[in-house]
A = this chain, B = another copy of it.
Amino acid sequence: MNRKQLFEQIQNKSSFLCVGLDTDLSKIPGHLLKEKDPVFEFNKQIIDATADFAVSYKPNIAFYEALGPKGWESLQKTLEYIPKEIFTIADAKRGDIGNTSSLYAKAFFETMNFDSITVAPYMGVDSVKPFLEFEGKWVILLALTSNEGSKDFQLFSSKEGKPLFQEVLEKSNLWGSPENMMYVVGATRGEKIAEVRKIVPNHFFLVPGVGAQGGSLEEVAKFGMNKDCGLLVNSSRGIIYAGNDRNFAQAAKGEARKLKEEMKVLLERYL
Residues of A within 8 A of B (CB): 22, 60, 62-63, 65-70, 72-73, 76, 91, 93-98, 100-101, 103-104, 106-107, 111-112, 120-128, 142, 145-154, 156-159, 161, 164, 167-168, 171
Contacts and interface: CB of A to CB of B under 8 A. Distances in A.
A124 B97 contact: no
B121 A153 contact: yes
B93 A94 contact: yes
A62 B147 contact: no
Contact of A123 (B22, B63, B91, B149): B149
B123 A145 contact: yes
A222 B47 CA distance: 57
10 contacts: A66-B104, A68-B107, A69-B70, A69-B72, A97-B145, A123-B145, A123-B149, A124-B153, A125-B148, A153-B167
Given A76-B68, A107-B65, A124 B154 contact: yes
Contacts of A100: 22, 60, 62-63
A62 B104 contact: yes
A159 B158 contact: yes
Contacts of A76: 68-69
Contacts of A65: 103-104, 107, 111
Nearest to A72: B69
Given A72-B72, A93-B94, 11 more contacts: A62-B100, A66-B104, A69-B73, A91-B96, A123-B142, A124-B148, A153-B164, A157-B158, A157-B159, A158-B158, A158-B159
B107 A126 contact: no
Contact of A111 (B66, B122, B142, B154): B66
A173 to B, nearest CB: 12
Contacts of A125: 148-149, 152
Nearest to A172: B152
